A and B are shown apart, each in its own frame.
Chain A
């Protein structure tokens, strides 16, 4: 068997992934009991596959080593939280920021600042302090977790757009990019309207 790109840390990564998943599910349940609102529709958590991680190291021009995979790449553990409403995203973000042993090392709000192609999502990178040693020899080792938060509509758009990326050399490339952006703006319009309707209902 070839050596894992994650060295001896693959199991720890799996454990941390499941711990994070559990924590998110726990606060989701708490909020539900307090308010009756589900702020997380569903979530997906994964440790990046060996192949994808190796491919990414190559693409970024760094050696295929456990150190690259764990310290230079910051998405070995990835979590995607799908929310019903836009405000739920920010509620999740607040809770994630307040995790006691986590430091937010990067935050990008592609909802308020959508990408030029129309992509909308909230990205966070957390650095988790653990009781496991890490590859640099720290006894309380630190591991990165990448979190993406989206509404159901944003997630559908991203999923469909991603599928089409695989097809190269499409005719009318420009028109298609423009129309995809229009779809993103239309879905965003629905998200904002749904949020506004919910606000009006709960104020009334």
Chain B
């Protein structure tokens, strides 16, 4: 799993990275809210950890910006003990959880596990990219026509549509959707299924990429 960490205190950031890496997470570290927003647009993260008090752009503004851009990746906020208002504002702005500094590492790890486990609770039931609507509860994809999707196709469409324009590797897809119990051939077949189904509804989005490589969903006419 891949995490984005935005924490401006260098030493705390280094310590967190070390422990998270040790617990099996890949971590990208940034040091203010602005960088966090930019970095979030480059990868499909499983969860993000934002400090609230940061220079350039604070964690709550970064979180609001992401949610406005329809990025619903789970976010955990790190807050100072006294700031009750921050916690309320943060949760209302779309945070999934918070942790008060100082915190025990064990609790942070447990909260990350809990947040990524209920990954899909905050995600919206209807996702729109281009003119295509994915209705996850109805398992359907619609544009000019509509078509039903199999369970894995819904998850794959959800992953791509939540991260339009971002390259997602076969390994990441296997990790997120197949729980690593699959192979590149299976991923390729499902990408092909999804592309044919997009075509059959006259969609203006498509997924580019080759077997075993990285895949990117993009709106036709805009550059990949």
A: residues with CB less than 8 A from B are 111-114, 181-182, 185-186, 188-189, 192-193, 195-197, 199-200
Contacts and interface: CB of A to CB of B under 8 A. Distances in A.
> Majority SS of interface residues in chain B?
mixed
Contacts of A193: 150, 193, 196
B47 to A, nearest CB: 32
Given A112-B200, A113-B202, A189 B192 contact: no
B199 to A, nearest CB: 8
A192 B190 CA distance: 12
Interface stretch (B4-12, B26-34, B141-149): B141-149
Task: Give the interface centre of B140, B189, B196 by most chain A CB atoms within 10 Å.
Answer: B196
Contact of A186 (B148, B189, B193, B200): B148
Interface residues of B, number: 15
Interface of B: 140, 144-150, 189, 192-193, 196-197, 200, 202
Contacts of A113: 144-145, 202
Contacts, number: 45
Contacts of B193: 192-193, 196
A181 B144 CA distance: 14
Contact of A192 (B144, B189, B197): B197
Nearest to A193: B193
B145 A114 contact: yes
A185 B146 contact: yes
